Amino acid sequence: MSDPHVDALYYFVKHFDTVDYAGAEALEYETPGFTVRIAEGRADVAMTSHHATADRARKEVEPLLRALELTTALEFGPGQFEFVYDTAKIVDRASTPETFGVVATSSFAIEIADAHIRRSKYPDPPPPSIAVDEVVAQMFECFRQYRASRRRLPDAANFCLTALEKSGGGRSGAATRFAVAKTVLNKAGQLADEKGGNEARKAKGAGAEFTAAERQWLEEAMKRLILRAAEIAGNPSASLPQITMADLPPLP
């Protein structure tokens, strides 16, 4: 009787053509179930936990990879560091080891950027408390669309705000569940609703362009809200420091 075991999973590291990791040293880190080694445009995952199929092994491994994509994109911008599944090494522990591949495509698209960026190191692994659930994935995709100029800032900010509110049972509930000061949520809502000029969501914002400070504040607020949602997704009972206006860029 055969005894299949996933010995390893292999991924391509994908990023903008204008991002260069050629000089980066190999990065390796361990979890209880697997070890990830990233080098020369590939991520090799050596499994220590047992899975009979590649799909099951990927379900254990990919939450960490997606969390790393998220934290990297929020820090440096989308398209900087993403994983595309390539193949799996599966051995039959009951007989002569056999290896075969299974190919799948990444769920994240890559856009084209302008400036060349040389990275001297690969991104650090995400904190263990970070997870990407459905709400986080929706907010993150909205942020990616905004950064790719496929969504306007007021619309993107409003989407992220309402996603939190829906998950938290309203604005007050979201403020409590995600440990975000209501003043932050109110300001995000006010800017998304009343400002924007040509980007405005509503007619009343058509004549009020964002100032540079307001645009910076709203972009940073989006990133902080997405990260906070990911922290709660990873540990719903976590006691986290409240995000306040003091944690965001100053507004006049």
What is d(CA 139, CA 217) in angstroms, rounded to the nearest whole number? 17
Q: Name the residue range of residue 223's domain.
A: 134-247
- Note whether 26 and 68 are same-domain residues: yes
Domain end: 118, 149, 166, which one? 118
Q: Please report whether residue 125 resides in a domain.
A: no
Q: What is the per-residue pLDDT for 243? A: 98
Query: Are 114 and 173 part of one and the same domain?
Result: no
Judged on CB neighbours under 10 Å (0-12, 13-18, 19+), 216 is middle
Summarize pLDDT for 9-22 with one digit per residue, the tens.
999 998 887 788 88
Q: What is the pLDDT of residues 35-80, one digit of tens each?
A: 999 998 899 999 999 999 999 999 999 999 999 999 999 998 888 8
Please tell me the predicted confidence (pLDDT) of residue 136.
97
> What are the tens digits of pLDDT across the range 153-191?
999 999 999 999 999 999 999 999 999 999 999 999 999
CB count within 10 Å of CB 115 equals 7
Cβ–Cβ under 8 Å, residues 26 and 121? no
* Gap between the Cα atoms of 103 and 12, Å rounded: 11
Residue 251: which of 214, 196, 222 has the closest Cα? Answer: 214
- The overall average pLDDT reported for the chain is 89
Q: Quick one: tokens of 12?
A: 């391509």
Asked whether residue 94 falls in the same domain as residue 174, the answer is no
Same domain, 159 and 75: no
On the question of pLDDT at 33 being above 50, the answer is yes
Q: Is the pLDDT of residue 1 over 70?
A: no
- The model's confidence at residue 110, banded by pLDDT at 50, 70 and 90, is very low
191 in the same domain as 166: yes
Same domain, yes or no, for 111 and 155?
Answer: no
pTM of the model: 0.84
**Average pLDDT value for residue range 192-204:** 92
Total domain count for the chain?
2
pLDDT of residue 162: 97
Asked, for residue 42, whether it belongs to a domain, the answer is: yes
In a domain? residue 159: yes
- The candidate with the shortest Cα–Cα distance to 54, out of 9, 105, 97, is 9
Average pLDDT over residues 90-94: 86
Domain boundary among 118, 152, 170: 118
Reply yes or no on whether the pLDDT at 115 is more than 70: no
Q: Does residue 151 sit in the same domain as residue 56? A: no
Percent of the chain with pLDDT over 90: 70
- Position 127 in a domain: no
